Each structure stands twice: as structure tokens, then as C-alpha cells.
Structure 1
Amino acid sequence: MVKIIIYCGLSVPYDEAKEILDSHDDVEVIYKRPIKRGDLGVDMKENPDIIGIIDGVFHQNSSVGHKELLKVIDSGVTVVGASSMGALRASELDTLGMIGIGYVYEQYATGKVASDDDVAVMLDSETLESLSEPLINMDYVFTNAVKENIISQSQKDELIQIAKSTFYPKRNYAQTLAKSDLDDDTKTRLIDFIRTSPDIKKEDGKELLRYIADMVK
């Protein structure tokens, strides 16, 4: 029996995660809330073989520490990270055995993104619903909007500057566009583009789940 612990619920809701990776005769999957410091010390009592970290807390509680993760890795557990806290920690520990997956991980690993503020969001502690928009998602969408000639590079730079200067719990598309100098027609086209754009943190989380599912086939 392979035992897996997945920390998620924000970037990827539990029901959607279970559609990709769920328990069966040879695999037991345990889904946990976003990881915080100290969780691994308790959850290792479950004797997991694989740990997948998608979501974690940043400011509400102390974040999961590097030493905690290294202790788990050194014990022989496979630790995979993506999307949010998982991507951040994987970029810091990938040379020490943690596996990183996806776009957000690559952004951190290559140094294009450095701050944990880029993936931080305000969340409803009860429902785990995101109450703000992560900067990494906004940058991904605006970059693609430039490629599609919806906005110019200079317009993207303005939008990102507005978003970066906004405290992360209040960061969203509506207030960013409202503070910009974009004309109404451009705003309308960009809003339509945003509505049809993927949530890159969610997509990365799903990629992690598929990666682990392939590991235990």
C-alpha cells in the first residue's frame, strides 16, 4: 500500500483533486489543508511514502520550514511541490531532493520570480476560497495578452506595477484595471481575455497530481 499526503484546497479544491488522484486498492490518498509550520511533524505519523505540497500558509501562520522538509526528504519520503508554497519551497530545495513541477516552480527556479508575495492570496479560512488574485496569475495572463496583441508591453508593465504596489489581500483584476490608463475598449477586450484564461496556479496543482498519479500506476 502506497500512502500519499496532499496539501491543497485553495489552488485546487479537494473534489477536483480527487478526480485526478484518489485512493484505490493499492493507494491511499489523504488530503490536508494548506500546510503550515509544524504540520509535517504531526502528519509524518501517517507514515507517507509521497507528499505533495500545492498550498501552504504565508502570513496567517508560520510557513513550513526548510529544515522540516529536509528532514522528511532525508527519511526517504518523496516530496513534490507545485503551484504555490509547493513551488516556492521546491525551487529552494530542488538541489536537495525536493521535486518541482510546473510553470510557477520554473518561474522561481529560474529567478524570474523571487518573492513569496507573487503567489500569496487572502483566503477564507473556513471555505479556503481565494479572496484576492495572486500576482503570478496576473503576470501570466498579462504576458499572454501582450502575445495576443490585446495590450502592449508598456501597458502590461503599468498593470503589473499597479498590482505589485497593492497589498496582496486587496489585489485583484478589477481594481488593477480601474487604476490603469487603459482606454475602455482595451479594458473590455482584456476583461474578456482574462475570463477565458487559465488559472496557472490551479493548472500547476493539477499537473502535480497527475505526476504523482503516474508515479503510483
Structure 2
Amino acid sequence: MDEKKIIIFTGPSLSIEEASKILKADYREPIQRGDILKAMQDSPDIIGIIDGVFHQSPAVGHKEIIEAINKGITIVGGGSMGALRASELDSLGMKGIGYVYNEYSSGNIESDDDVAIVFDSATGEPFSEALVNVDYKFKEAVKSGIINDDERKELISVAKSIYYPKRTYYNIFKNSSIDEGKKEKLIDFIVELVDVKKQDAIAVLKYIKDLK
């Protein structure tokens, strides 16, 4: 049986180094407009979309994804840009994977701002925190009894008010009224929690691996 050709677009959600330990593939930087059409020139069987650019360059277009699907290429998305596009195109054949995809497809989140961050283009290191990840971690903190739901709502309201490049836990806590003792417990708690976009990125790779 011939080895399937797989192209994966990833970045800050899951580094290429980490990803390559899970799945052998042609890894590329976060996707932008035109990258699917370029990828199609290499005749892939599967394209996985995890990370993509939002505002610094034109985002990957719906039409190019649909064109690839119509050519018989399996398109799988999750984590960040992949989750957003999958929620918009799942009825047309794009496969969505993971928590973030489910949040979009259920209508719990709607904006690209929910997954947008800024990151170092050379290293992929994030400089800000995705709102979907903040929301996930604060919900888990409520379940664990560290904060109550009113405090969670206040923290999320503050997080939403911060422009995404400046959305960090430091800035969220600095502008909230949560007492210092709870803040310290909350910081210790969220540091230990997995990044939900990373978790979804791994799920995308494992799903594609099972397709082989």
C-alpha cells in the first residue's frame, strides 16, 4: 500500500518538532491565503490545518479549501484556524476535530478573535493567550472550586475587553477585582492545565494517523 502524502499547517498550537514525533508529514508554517492552492501542486492525499494567520496576512480562503475537497483531498481541521474553517465548511466535507471545533460548531464561540494570538514568527512562541483557552481554563477552575461562576464571568469579561495581542493572564488579573489569594491559586492551577489548542492539535494528528 502506498504511503499517503500528508501536509500539515501548524505553529504556536503545536511545534513542528513536537508534531513530527506523533505523525510523519510535510509540516509547514501557519496557513494563509493561497497556501492550499500551493499545497495542491504537491498532490497531497490529506491536508491538516491547525494554525493560520488572521490579521497580519489574508486568512486561508473558503474557496481554496472547497476546491481541494472537490479534488478528493481529505481536509482535517482543529486547534485554531483549522477549527474555525472546519466549523464553517463541515457541511461541505471538511472534517473538524476537538474542543475548539465543537465550540465553534455549536455556536458557543463565533469570532476569529476567540482563537487569535500573536506569536514569534521565528520560534512560534506565543506572546498572548487565546480567549478560547482562557475560557476553558477558567471553567475548569470553577469545577475545581478555585473561583465561583460570578468571578469567572468577571474574568472573561475583562479578557474579552483586552485586544487580542495584549490578552495575557497578567493583564487579565491586573484589571480584575479577584482577591490576591485567589489569583495566586488560580495562576498555579492554570499553569498546570493543558493548552486546549495544543490538545486539539494533537487530536488532529492522531485522527490523520488513523486514516493512513
TM-score bracket for this pair, using the shorter chain length: over 0.9
Find out whether 1:127 has 2:123 as its counterpart: yes
User: Partner amino acid for 1:164?
Assistant: K
Residue 203 of structure 2: SS of its match in structure 1? helix
Name the count of aligned residue pairs.
210
Q: Which residue of 2 aligns with 1:40?
A: 36
Find out whether 1:197 has 2:199 as its counterpart: no
Task: Give 1:56 shift.
Answer: 0.4
Deviations 1:197-216 (A, max 9, x none): 11000000000000111111
Q: Which residue of 2 aligns with 1:165?
A: 161
Deviations 1:166-205 (A, max 9, x none): 0000001111011111111111110110111110000000
Q: Which residue of 2 aligns with 1:21?
A: 23
Task: Give the Cα separation in 2 of the matches to 1:147 and 1:55.
Answer: 29
Task: Give the Cα separation in 1 of the matches to 2:176 and 2:12.
Answer: 29
Residue 91 of structure 2: SS of its match in structure 1? helix
Task: Give the Cα separation in 2 of the matches to 1:130 and 1:187.
Answer: 22
Q: Which residue of 1 aligns with 2:69?
A: 73
TM-score by length of 2: 0.98
Find out whether 1:215 has 2:187 as its counterpart: no
Q: Which residue of 1 aligns with 2:135?
A: 139
Task: Give the Cα separation in 2 of the matches to 1:170 and 1:12.
Answer: 21
User: Partner amino acid for 1:147?
Assistant: K
Moved over 3 A (4+): none
Find out whether 1:4 has 2:41 as its counterpart: no
Q: Which residue of 2 aligns with 1:25?
A: none
User: Partner amino acid for 2:27?
Assistant: Y
Moved more, 87-96 or 180-189: 180-189
Superposition pairs for residues 49-68 of structure 1, below 5 Å? 49-68=45-64
Gaps of 5+ in 1: 23-28
Task: Give the Cα separation in 2 of the matches to 1:41 and 1:195.
Answer: 39
Task: Give the Cα separation in 2 of the matches to 1:200 and 1:110.
Answer: 17
Gaps of 5+ in 2: none
User: Partner amino acid for 1:3?
Assistant: K
Task: Give 1:12 shift.
Answer: 0.4
Task: Give 1:80 shift.
Answer: 0.1
Task: Give 1:125 shift.
Answer: 1.7
User: Partner amino acid for 1:83?
Assistant: G
User: Partner amino acid for 2:97?
Assistant: I
% same residue = 53
User: Partner amino acid for 1:2?
Assistant: K
User: Partner amino acid for 1:8?
Assistant: T
Q: Which residue of 2 aligns with 1:93?
A: 89
Task: Give the Cα separation in 1 of the matches to 2:36 and 2:186.
Answer: 42
User: Partner amino acid for 2:11?
Assistant: G
TM-score by length of 1: 0.95
Deviations 1:49-70 (A, max 9, x none): 0000000000010000111100
